[in-house]
């Protein structure tokens, strides 16, 4: 199945050049399928100078939601669009309860993910949110499952425009679940990145700690009974979980 990869990025040309981009190319994703979306004209110049020749750099919009929305508007309805964060260093698959291994044929996995999603009559897929073999499993799950924002795919809908910069992955998951009755998650695959730690990105444009609390409150109000605070996650950022309706 034909697909494209979109990478939203902000002030991270140097990070992208040593993480997500070479990882994708080394694992079979052709460079002509990869689009990097940045917020300003100056960033287009900066990214072109720091990335391999042939990298397609497109002007999106400032902010996480703004750039994700620009990506949705850029591609036609129905296009198979896979999005990666710009700081992914690895994508790994479950071997056993203590071991993971690299997904070397990432091109093949992405195609399989889109085909399985289409076969299920759904429009969005994702991977396990935490690279921890103890919690991962050799299964594909359906229903209301959180699809982490650093790696996921959709059959594009231009009219789907996000509101939140923080926790936009929860917002997108809930929107697709509400529209389609389910999403697809591959619980045996997980990405490796440095959430909240890599320079640039969201933390360079807004206070993520304050926004996380506001976004959690917004989602609990918009989706009563489906979103709750996560009592197991301690830290400065407000963390939530999704609750499958009975």
Q: How far apart are CA 96 and CA 17, in angstroms?
A: 31
Tell me the mean pLDDT in the region 7-34. Answer: 96
pLDDT of residue 11: 93
Q: What is the pTM of this model?
A: 0.92
Reported confidence tier of residue 209, pLDDT bands at 50, 70, 90:
confident
**Residue 126: beta bridge partners?**
152, 185
Helices 208-222, 168-180: axis angle to 10 degrees equals 20
* Per CATH, domain 4-242 is 3.90.950.20: no
Domain definitions of the chain by residue range: 4-242
pLDDT at 204 over 70: no
Reported confidence tier of residue 9, pLDDT bands at 50, 70, 90:
very high
pLDDT of residue 184: 98
Interior/surface letters 13-25, b for 16+ CB within 10 angstroms, e for the rest: bebbbebbbebbb
pLDDT of residue 203: 44
């Amino acid at each position: 199945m034909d697909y494209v990869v979109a990478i939203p990025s902000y002030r991270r040309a140097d990070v992208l050049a040593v993480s997500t981009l070479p990882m994708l190319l080394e694992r079979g994703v052709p460079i002509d399928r990869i689009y990097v979306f940045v917020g300003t004209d100056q960033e287009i110049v900066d990214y072109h100078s720091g990335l391999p020749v042939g990298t397609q750099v497109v002007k999106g919009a400032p902010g996480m939601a703004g750039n994700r929305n620009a990506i949705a508007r850029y591609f036609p309805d129905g296009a198979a669009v896979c999005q990666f964060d710009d700081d992914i260093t690895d994508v790994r698959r479950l071997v056993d309860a203590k071991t993971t291994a690299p997904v070397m044929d990432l091109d093949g996995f992405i195609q399989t993910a889109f085909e399985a999603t289409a076969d299920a009559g759904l429009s969005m897929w994702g991977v396990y949110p935490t690279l921890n073999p103890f919690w991962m499993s050799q299964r594909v799950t359906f229903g209301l499952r959180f699809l982490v924002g650093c790696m996921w795919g959709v059959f594009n809908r231009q009219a789907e425009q996000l509101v939140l910069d923080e926790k936009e992955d929860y917002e997108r998951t809930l929107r697709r679940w509400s529209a389609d009755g389910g999403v697809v998650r591959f619980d045996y695959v997980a990405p490796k990145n440095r959430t909240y730690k890599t320079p640039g990105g969201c933390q360079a444009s807004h206070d993520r700690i304050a926004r996380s609390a506001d976004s959690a409150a917004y989602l609990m109000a918009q989706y009563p009974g489906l979103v709750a605070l996560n009592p197991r996650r301690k830290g400065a950022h407000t963390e939530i979980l999704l609750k499958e309706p009975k």
